Amino acid sequence: MEKPSIYKWTLKYGLMSALAGIVCCVAPAVLFMLGLMGGVVAISFADFFYQADGSLGLGAIMLRGVAVLIGAFGVYKYKTTQDQCSIDPKRKKVNTILVAVLILIVGVLLFIGLEKFSAWYFDAYIVPQQQIELSK
């Protein structure tokens, strides 16, 4: 059996955890871009995850918890997949720690990047459209 690629594993689980953590903002932005959702619906979808003052609501906290669980599952799965290969135990431990750190870094950086993008997109496109829709 071939040993798992650290880079592929990191990208796969880092991206999945980042998307899971920020789906509350990225999903309405993408649906709005595709014309499948109006401004009012996109804002109300995103507002479902946040409190009235803009702080994190229960939905956003749950999504971030799911993101952490996906990252932890990625590390666990890497460790079990790696254990099937005949690598020396010290190297296995170093690889597992490396994958955990890389998934954390990639996940957090992608999450922050997607959060910044979605905030900009909401301010630039969705909020003005919402105001047009509400003024009719």
Residue 10, in any domain of the structure: yes
Categorise residue 71: left if φ over 0, alpha if ψ from -120 to 50, beta otherwise: alpha
| pTM listed for this prediction | 0.87
Is pLDDT at 3 greater than 90 in this prediction? Answer: no
Tell me, yes or no, whether 113 lies in a domain. yes
Residue partners of 85: CB distance under 8 A and separation at least 6: 1, 2, 3, 4
Do 74 and 4 meet the contact criterion of CB atoms below 8 Å apart?
no
Dist. CA 78–CA 10, nearest whole Å:
10
- The answer to whether residue 1 sits within a structural domain is no
Q: In total, how many domains does the chain have? A: 1
pLDDT at 123 over 90: yes
How close are the terminal C-alpha atoms of the chain, in Å? 63
Q: Has residue 92 been placed in a domain?
A: yes
What would the pLDDT profile of 57-99 be if each residue is shown by its tens digit? 899 999 999 999 999 999 999 988 887 766 788 888 998 999 9
Q: What is the predicted pLDDT for the residue at 53?
A: 85
Residue 99 domain-assigned (yes or no): yes
Which pair of structure tokens corresponds to residue 18? 């980042």
Give the contacts of 125 (CB within 8 A, at least 6 positions apart): 32
Over residues 106-118, the mean pLDDT reads 95
Structural domain for 58, as ranges: 6-135
Nearest to 111 by CA among 80, 54, 71, 57: 71
Structure confidence at residue 130 (pLDDT)? 92
Tokens of 118: 């979605």
Chain segment 11-58, per-residue pLDDT in tens: 999 999 999 999 988 999 999 999 999 999 998 888 888 888 878 889
